[in-house]
Structure 1
Amino acid sequence: ILQGEIQELQMSLASKEVDLRKLDGLLKDTGNRRGRGPSLTSQIVEVLHSLAKDSPEGVSARAVVQEFGQTRDDVNESTIRSTL
């Protein structure tokens, strides 16, 4: 009985180790992406600047959100607005 339980625990442990390695790989990949390229703020400012060139009377936050949404779909509206 004990041998069976030990074997089950070993299999469970091995499965959890595999899951942890996968999670670790995902976290490392996410960390690497963050370091690449311009920051979120600079990307938003770039969109704002390009819109402002074409619109001397001013640019609405809605216009920036819509334009930025075409560039990156992984950032929500509230994040963009708070950055502005």
Structure 2
Amino acid sequence: MVLKTIQVTLDEGLLEQVDELVAELDTTRSAFIRELLERELWARRWRELERQDAEGYRLLPPDDEEVEAWLGIQDWGDEWNTAK
């Protein structure tokens, strides 16, 4: 992975909080900010996939036969079996 240096402007109070946290986590500003950006990008991608999934089910909802088929093969484990 090729790393590029960038310049970021932060409010003084925010920078102080970041510095306290990176010291606590024994990391660097760069690593901390990099991880936060990666997490946010991943979270946004995940939300988009969930949105697409919901849209697909909205446009083409499963029919009763599909639902019954899935209900028949679900396995929630013994702890969920109240009939025992």
Normalising by structure 2, what TM-score? 0.44
Which structure has greater helix proportion?
1
